[in-house]
Amino acid sequence: MNMLLPLLGLLGFLNAFIAIPNLPPLVNPTRALGQYQWLPGGKYDAQQSLSVRFPAPAGYQRVTVASGSFGQWLRNLPLLPVGTPVRLHNGQLKSRQDVHAAVVNIDTGSRDLQQCADAVIRLRAEYLFSLNPDQVHFHLTSGHDIRFQDWYQGRSFRVVGEDVLPATKPVEAPTHLVFRHYLDQIFTYAGTLSLSRELTAVPLDQVQPGDVLIRGGSPGHAVLVLDVATQPGTGRRVALLAQSYMPAQQLHVLKAGPRPDSGAWFVLDANQEHVFTPEWTFANDELKRFE
């Protein structure tokens, strides 16, 4: 006991000079790599983030988003360098290179899966995964709710004709690689119709980061609202929008007009009947929100 006293005193002395953070337990064992866990080695360049590359237009201010929210997470998405072209899942160039203002730094996968609604699901799922993998779940077009927790614990599904049946698979740790395998299955059997059913309609003049312009069906399309800015005094709102398309391609920030200097901020006017994007036109009542 007497020998412990000097040791305890030494530890107290060291603690006075060494800041030992009171770290909470990691809910996600891979969270130490950062919020954007698909990045190779967890390397994140803040200078290539959405908020740095696309400042609010003159006379506008970005809307306030809660700390740790989906909106804040989207606002800091990593982008690829200026001038990066959009490529398809097979590495070929997209035929239209005139519709994007930037390319999001996220993998597409080698299969023709991560299309429009799938890209929205991907970002929402990545955000939830960064908080707690057990929060991740999405519905198939059939209506079945498929939870990632069930998936990695060995409870899967198989599709036989129009039936979705229970299936078993090996139990795995909830790593990001396993999570990507889960998402590929979701992408295969989900789409704009199933995603639209998971969302709640909101008025266009209340648009917030994380909302989705979506038309469910076949054909259908989905565009994600990455960020929003307002004009003080008028309340006018502009937004940064992102999409994937068909075939599966890199997620990209859309250009707001056809000219090279058009910029990326779209005016969202609830008094107009439509929201025009480069490859799809939405009705002004097709804005929805994750609950």
| Buried/exposed 233-271: b ≥16 CB within 10 Å, e otherwise | eeeebbbbbbbbbebbbbbbbbbbeeeeeeebbbebeee
| Contact call for residues 282 and 216 (beta carbons, < 8 A) | no
Q: What is the DSSP letter of 175?
A: -
Question: What pTM was computed for the model?
Answer: 0.88
What is the pLDDT at residue 16? 34
What is the pLDDT at residue 33? 38
Residue 278: is the preceding peptide bond cis (ω within 30°)?
Answer: no
What is the pLDDT at residue 42? 82
The segments of the chain whose pLDDT lies below 70 read 1-34
Phi-psi label, residue 68: left if phi above 0, alpha if psi -120 to 50, beta otherwise: left
What is the pLDDT at residue 37? 95
What is the pLDDT at residue 34? 57
Phi-psi label, residue 288: left if phi above 0, alpha if psi -120 to 50, beta otherwise: beta
What is the pLDDT at residue 8? 34
81 class by beta-carbon count within 10 Å (0-12 exposed, 13-18 middle, 19+ buried): exposed
What is the pLDDT at residue 207? 98
